[in-house]
Amino acid sequence: MKIYLAKHKGFCSGVKRSIRLAEKALDERTGPIFILNEIVHNRTIINDLKQRGLNSVRDPNRIETGTMIISAHSIPYHVITNAKARGLDVIDTSCPLVYRIHKAARELIDDGYKVILYGDPDHDEIAGIKAIGPDDIHVLDSIDDIDDLPMWDKPAAFISQSTRTIEGFEEAANKLHIKYKLLKVVNTICRATRLRQEAIHELAKQVEMVIVIGSKTSANSNRLEELASSYSIKTHLIDNEDELDLDWLEGIDNLGITSGASTPDFLVNEVVKRIETWSKNKNIPTEIAQL
Question: Is the Cβ of residue 139 or residue 244 nearer to ligand SF4 in the bound state?
Answer: 139
Distance of closest approach, residue 2 Cβ to ligand SF4, in angstroms: 29
Q: Rounded CA gap, 118 and 143, in Å?
A: 9
Q: Where are the alpha helices (DSSP H) in the chain?
A: 13-28, 43-51, 77-85, 96-110, 124-130, 166-179, 191-206, 219-229, 265-281
How far apart are CB 254 and ligand SF4 at their closest, in Å? 28
CB atoms within 10 A of CB 208: 14
Residue closest to ligand SF4 (Cβ): 14
| Rounded distance between C-alpha atoms, residue 20 and residue 215, angstroms | 20
Q: How far is the CB of 226 from ligand SF4 (least distance, A)?
A: 16
Name the residue nearer to ligand SF4 (CB basis): 105 or 272. Answer: 105
> How far from 83 is each of 24, 75, 231, CA to CA, in Å?
20, 12, 47
Q: Is the CB of residue 217 less than 8 Å from the CB of residue 237?
A: no
Q: Which residues bind ligand SF4 (CB under 6 A)?
A: 12-15, 72, 95, 97-98, 162-163, 190, 192-193, 220, 261
Which residue's CB is nearer to ligand SF4, number 23 or number 208?
A: 23
> Residue 168 CB, nearest distance to ligand SF4 (Å)?
15
Q: Kindly tell me which of 162 and 235 has the beta carbon lying closer to ligand SF4.
A: 162
Q: Catalytic residue numbers?
A: 125
